[in-house]
């Protein structure tokens, strides 16, 4: 049974696709922000009074941070390596953060256009620690489209 009218999405099941192929399920995603400039200008009303007007400006590029378990996902790791090597003609990809319902049906997509990995941070490793090794990947993109 899929989501019913009025049901809210849960945030426990999501992954990332690169060029339409699911490459990794994620532990955490942050920074999914869509923003644009605001153009503010003054004009005079027909009564001769100054009026402030606002209108939308240019959309801004952004960054998203994803956390994944340090796995053997070769496609995602190769994409990161290509980005870090600066081979931008093959590093820039369309990536999608896919949110799924409790039956693993995709219900929300955050499409990152011309995305590439700009930073990787590996979690602390400590002798005797019983925790999973994770990688935090910062992905920069030129446009975010939600559907």
pLDDT, tens digit, for every residue of 88-134? 999 999 999 999 887 888 889 999 999 999 999 998 888 888 888 89
- Considering the domain boundaries, does residue 48 fall inside one? no
- Considering the domain boundaries, does residue 46 fall inside one? no
- Considering the domain boundaries, does residue 53 fall inside one? no
Domain of 65, in residue numbers: 14-34+61-146
- Considering the domain boundaries, does residue 42 fall inside one? no
Query: DSSP string covering 100-122, please?
Result: E-TTS-EEEEEEEEEEEEEEEEE
- Considering the domain boundaries, does residue 104 fall inside one? yes
Query: In CATH, what number is assigned to the domain containing residue 30?
Result: 2.30.110.20
115 φψ region: left (φ > 0), alpha (ψ -120 to 50), beta (else): beta
Which pLDDT tens digit goes with each residue over 30-83? Answer: 999 999 999 999 999 999 999 999 999 999 999 999 999 887 678 888 999 999
Tally of domains within the chain: 1
What's the pLDDT score for residue 98?
94
What's the pLDDT score for residue 10?
67
pTM comes to 0.83
φ/ψ of 26, rounded to 5, equals -115, 160
- Considering the domain boundaries, does residue 9 fall inside one? no
């Amino acid at each position: 049974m899929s989501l019913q009218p009025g049901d809210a999405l849960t945030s426990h099941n999501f992954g990332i696709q690169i060029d339409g192929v699911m490459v990794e399920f994620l532990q955490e995603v942050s920074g999914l922000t869509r923003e644009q400039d605001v153009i503010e200008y003054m004009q005079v009303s027909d009564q001769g009074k100054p009026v402030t007007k606002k209108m939308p400006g240019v959309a801004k590029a952004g960054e998203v941070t994803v956390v994944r378990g340090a796995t053997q996902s070769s496609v995602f790791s190769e994409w990161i390596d290509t980005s870090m090597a600066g081979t931008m003609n093959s590093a820039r990809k369309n990536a999608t953060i896919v949110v799924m319902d409790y039956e693993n049906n995709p219900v929300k997509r955050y499409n990152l256009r011309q995305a590439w990995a700009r930073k990787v941070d590996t979690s602390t490793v400590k002798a005797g620690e019983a925790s999973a090794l994770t990688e935090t990947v910062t992905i920069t993109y030129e446009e975010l489209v939600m559907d």
